[in-house]
Structure 1
Amino acid sequence: MTAEPHELISVRAPEQIVESLKVDRSPRNIRACLPPADRDYFDEDFRRAMAKATEELDLAPVNALLAHWWHMARMKATGEYEEVLEHGARIQEQIERGEYVPGRPLREVLAERASELGVKLDL
């Protein structure tokens, strides 16, 4: 008989996931808060970021990855992720029909967000 690692699978309400993410931003908790279908992607991304951090002696890739997946876990728990996808699809349809889509240019939004993070983008 072999002993294989296993995860305790528990179903949590979206509010419980959001609360958990507020108090624990560890890789283990972020992964546990993701839908099971996303966990392999998280694992792959995390291992790649850790390898890069080890090679470059810089934790910035790991921190950026954890921030990304933290937001994904939160958005997927609350349904915001699907709303964003649906909104994006509606905008894409408008663009394809040649309709005017109000808003700010993506380049401007990205530059603003990068500035807030202290990152210089070459757009």
Structure 2
Amino acid sequence: MTAEPHELPTARTLEQIIESLKVDRSPRNIRACLPPEDRDHFDKDYRQIMARAMEELDLAPVNDTLAHWWHVARMKASGEYEEVLARAVRVRDQIERGEQVSGRPLRDVLAERAAELGVKLDL
């Protein structure tokens, strides 16, 4: 008898990945929804935070880490990731030049995005 890997299918459309992330926030699904080049980073973060959780008997950092990777998977699947990074670079450059940065508070943006996704955030 051979053991089968516990990987979810990777040949999914971006729409299927986004839908999957709406209903399944398990570490296994989040990892499967990440692009292959991000999975080693996820594995390293997840293993480190689980070891820490075992030592400290605290799952809050685990939940924070999974939330972070969920957002990364969601943004990369929707094509928003590169846009977010480019905007961050522009804002950083403005701040470094001492310029006023326009925009909405991050809390408002996150709350709006969470509502669109049907997710409740405690901000």
**Cα-to-partner distance string for 1:51-103 (whole Å, 9 max, x where unaligned):** 01000111111111111101110001001111111112222343455543224
Partner of 1:28: 28
Q: 1:19 to 1:105 in 2, by over 3 A?
A: closer
Partner of 2:100: 100
Report 1 or 2 for greater relative contact order, CA contacts < 8 Å, sequence distance ≥ 6: 2
Letter in 2 for 1:38: D
Partner of 1:52: 52
Partner of 1:86: 86
Separation of aligned partners in 1, 2:67 and 2:122: 12
- 1:5 is displaced (CA, Å) by 5.2
Identity of aligned residues (%): 71
Provide the alpha-carbon RMSD of the alignment: 3.0
Q: 1:69 to 1:99 in 2, by over 3 A?
A: same
TM (norm. structure 1) is 0.73
Partner of 1:121: none
Query: Where in structure 2 are there 5+ consecutive unaligned residues?
Result: 112-120
- 1:23 is displaced (CA, Å) by 1.1
Separation of aligned partners in 1, 2:83 and 2:39: 21
TM (norm. structure 2) is 0.73
Partner of 2:70: 70
Partner of 2:42: 42
Instruction: Name which of structure 1's ranges 93-102 and 34-43 shifts more when overlaid on structure 2.
Output: 93-102
Aligned residues: 110
SS where residue 100 of structure 1 aligns?
Answer: coil
